[in-house]
A = this chain, B = another copy of it.
């Protein structure tokens, strides 16, 4: 677990440090020294008296007490070394950069477990093994380059992959993204990204701490911890963007061979991120674009003004913003006319605001002032300004730089002239700004940020249901699929309306029970698991004679023990369901039934417990949502009831976490009611 000794050690020992800075142990020491670590620094290297001018001990027994040990020695020597440090040297923090542990085989796994046990026994913190290390305000404990200068309000970076952390820092620095704390978790024997977020959350001070957190994850071992602390951090003012790599079958196989990651479906991960308010990213480029957006003022609405001297970029950006659900609204009226009078003839102010290739820095300043103060419907500005090589654009970028600081509306600078204006861009970045080289890449990331919901409240009260009855059914049931009567009992206890069902094994009792039930009816076999496959469902039974005939036929199907009769409902087919992935809370699914699931895969997902607003959002995000509203002259289904059923399903799995899989398919919806017609539940114990 993260502790003070890891973050602010008063003393560090580098074990396996070398004079050869091409070796990890050598480069690690070099970075700590040149990073200006102010505490006591020692080294263990039995072959040297001094390493990089630092006193070197020959054995771990000889060193003074030390807060933090960084190990760059072969894996097999680590367990014993750490035992001595923990027990004799009061060491509470350990970073193991060496590889050769769990990722290499059984023996390594054993070493890793032994080390974890030792570290836990002294309430210590272990980072790695198999990682590049840690950068904090106090020391630069990584063996890689580049080592970005610590910027107190830069981005915190937590990465499961060391090389990916390096590549993210490299690409980020080129854009002007600055970094603060960097944690590479490697095999995460003890400390995972979730643990680091937890520490950040519990100790968060928005005045002092970095606000932007970037994550690269290949596995989410404790989704609930991630959810809890990510959403808590975001509510306190932090902003989080994350890549969860391995979202496809092929990527997942790649991740498993890379860090032994446990697969989780992309749908569930997205549901988790949405609930937490984490912006979902799928590339380094996108992660850094989002990070750059996070570093500017918050986008408060969807109306963007595009300000440029280069029409083509504006057109491509307008296309992209529009595809992402943002708007480039027209600008018109007396203020717009006034603005136009300050610009050269031929300029366009309709939005995009194109002030021509000859546009000046002063004009840019005036345009931004108008967008900031006069055009109330504008929420943010994108300024695309490059250089065709004729003028120096430094004065333009100076104006932009000042406006970035003083305007309340966010301004996103796209500086495309990476060759012509290289020098001016560098001087712009040196002022602490970040630039976007490609307008369309920015446009996509803006939509990704804008479309990520706010984090859900931590306490979501689920609807009241008959928990006692649910526990009775679950506690007395055995693993696997529940029986029809158990299933019915759970639906009733969760107060999910279901179709009237009569189950009997004799024709006489059946007809007696049916009483005045309206025809047509549906008859189904009871017994066989896959009713449809067994040809055990007959629809459109129009009268008693047909029912009698059908009864005889169905009773002859193998494993059939009884026959169920239901009135045949007419309405819109809907679907709700549940899946449970290892470590995650239940994922609740909803959709339109039939082809929408089976052919179009049009399903929304949310992580239980589901609030009313989440359920609503799930329903609204269905591609076929119009059909629920009523489209093509048909009446749709009662949305409020559908939302309530989703919440009830969530309440059910909260009361019965043993449910591993559940489908209610179909539900038949009308404007007045939604009724479950068939359901299937599988539990595990």
Instruction: Give A residues with C-beta under 8 Å from B.
Output: 22-24, 27, 99-100, 103-104, 132, 143-146, 159-164, 166-167, 169-171, 173-174, 216, 218, 243, 245-251, 253-255, 257-259, 282-286, 306, 309-316, 318-323, 327-328, 330, 345-346, 348, 350, 352, 354, 356-357, 386, 388-391, 416-420, 437-441, 532, 594-595, 598-600, 623-624, 626-627, 631-633
Contact = CB atoms under 8 A, between A and B. Distances in A.
A633 to B, nearest CB: 7
Nearest to A437: B171
Contacts of A145: 388-390, 419-420
B284 A254 contact: no
A284 B315 CA distance: 12
B316 A163 contact: no
A632 B166 CA distance: 49
Contacts of A313: 163-164, 167, 284
B246 A319 contact: yes
A251 B633 contact: no
Given A104-B345, A282-B440, A254 B352 contact: yes
Interface centre among A24, A250, A386 (most CB of B within 10 A): A250
A15 to B, nearest CB: 18
Given A246-B319, A253-B318, A390 B22 contact: yes
Nearest to A146: B419
A218 B310 CA distance: 13
Contacts of A631: 595, 598-599
Nearest to A599: B626
A316 B282 contact: yes
A312 B27 contact: no
Contacts of A285: 438, 440-441
Contacts of A420: 145-146, 166, 170
Contacts of A253: 318, 328, 330, 350
Given A388-B145, A416-B170, A418-B170, A322 B250 contact: yes
A388 B595 contact: no
A508 to B, nearest CB: 32
Given A144-B389, A164-B310, A318 B254 contact: yes
B595 A632 contact: yes
Contact of A354 (B132, B243, B249, B258): B258
Contacts of A132: 388
A319 B600 contact: no
